């Protein structure tokens, strides 16, 4: 188990102009990065969160940043876990990731979204019992979609379709990938919220909120004055990260050890 405490890391210039970000008094927020079919790590991290929150008498929130599926071996089982064994006592918030959106695109337009199979979709289909060889050609996509629809539980489809694109708490904004710098939150496109990378990651611009995000893998959690990136590549590293926000405090709970 890893348990770190981080202080406000705004640079001297930013710190002179802004106070440390915080969540509302009497509220603690936990946020989990990209899971990608690693049920074992999710269960381990849920146990850490449960232990960490024990005895806390304020309001508890748990924000998942999306990408529950693909790449790892147990996508279906991760969704079952979230639906059947949510952590009690928490306001659970489920954000959509680009991988869930691509699964839905495949169900709507299987030929146009055939690339999903090579981005982790083969592993997800296998977890639902649809086993396919690699190298599937586009003419097969309609049949594959039909097979998937036949085994996809309605409650899973409802879950995929019912997730949020963003969540706000205090001075923090939670999204899957990031935001378009310089654009008001109300004008952000869903495409950017799910897919943006370098234009957001490389920006030093102060946003309306400190953005907590996944999507872009880093060896260690990236604490910046304008964002906190918590995708530590769980499916391949064994490190699934949870950011804990309490007042002005920023802490980490993590499974495993970084590679």
Q: What distance in Å separates the CA atoms of residue 95 and residue 66, rounded to the nearest whole number? A: 5
Q: What is the C-alpha separation between 38 and 72, in angstroms, rounded?
A: 6
What are the tens digits of pLDDT across the range 81-128? 999 999 999 999 999 999 999 999 999 999 999 999 999 999 999 999
Q: 257 or 172, which is more confident?
A: 172
Is residue 2 scored above 80 in pLDDT? Answer: no
pLDDT of 6 reads 45
CA separation, residue 156 to residues 62, 63, 104, 221, 252 (Å): 20, 18, 11, 30, 29
Global pTM value:
0.92
* pLDDT band at residue 134 using 50, 70 and 90 as cut-offs: confident
* Predicted pLDDT at 19: 81
Structure confidence at residue 17 (pLDDT): 53
pLDDT single digits (tens) 73-83: 999 999 999 99
- Rg for the chain, CA atoms, rounded: 18
Q: How far apart are CA 174 and CA 192, in angstroms?
A: 13
Q: What is the pLDDT of residues 228-250, one digit of tens each?
A: 999 999 999 999 999 999 999 99
Cα–Cα distances in angstroms (integers) from residue 253 to residues 68, 83, 184, 205, 217, in the given order: 18, 22, 31, 28, 17
Tens digit of pLDDT for each residue in 202-216? 999 999 999 999 999
Domains belonging to the chain, first-starting first, are 2-97+163-254 (3.60.21.10), 98-153 (no CATH)
């Amino acid at each position: 188990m890893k348990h770190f405490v981080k202080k406000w890391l705004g640079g001297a210039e930013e710190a002179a102009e802004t106070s440390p970000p915080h969540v509302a008094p009497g509220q603690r927020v936990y946020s989990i990065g990209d899971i990608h079919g690693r049920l074992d790590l999710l269960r381990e991290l849920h146990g850490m969160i449960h232990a960490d929150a024990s005895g806390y008498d304020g309001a508890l929130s748990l924000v998942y940043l999306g990408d529950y599926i693909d790449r790892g071996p147990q996508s279906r089982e991760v969704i079952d876990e979230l639906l059947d064994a949510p952590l009690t006592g928490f306001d659970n918030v489920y954000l959509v990731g680009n991988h869930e959106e691509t699964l839905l695109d495949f169900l709507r337009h299987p030929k146009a979204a055939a690339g999903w199979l090579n981005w982790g979709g083969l592993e997800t289909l296998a977890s639902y019992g649809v086993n396919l060889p690699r190298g599937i050609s586009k003419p097969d996509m309609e049949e594959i979609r039909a097979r998937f629809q036949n085994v996809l539980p309605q409650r899973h489809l409802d879950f995929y379709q019912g997730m949020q694109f963003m969540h706000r708490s205090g001075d923090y904004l939670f999204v899957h990938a990031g935001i378009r710098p310089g654009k008001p939150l109300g004008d952000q496109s869903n495409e950017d919220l799910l897919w943006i990378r370098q234009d957001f990651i490389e920006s030093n611009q102060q946003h309306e909120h400190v953005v907590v995000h996944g999507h872009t893998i880093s060896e260690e959690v990236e604490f910046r004055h304008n964002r906190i990136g918590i995708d530590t590549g769980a499916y391949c590293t064994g490190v699934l990260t949870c950011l804990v926000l309490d007042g002005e405090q920023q802490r980490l709970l993590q499974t495993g050890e970084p590679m």
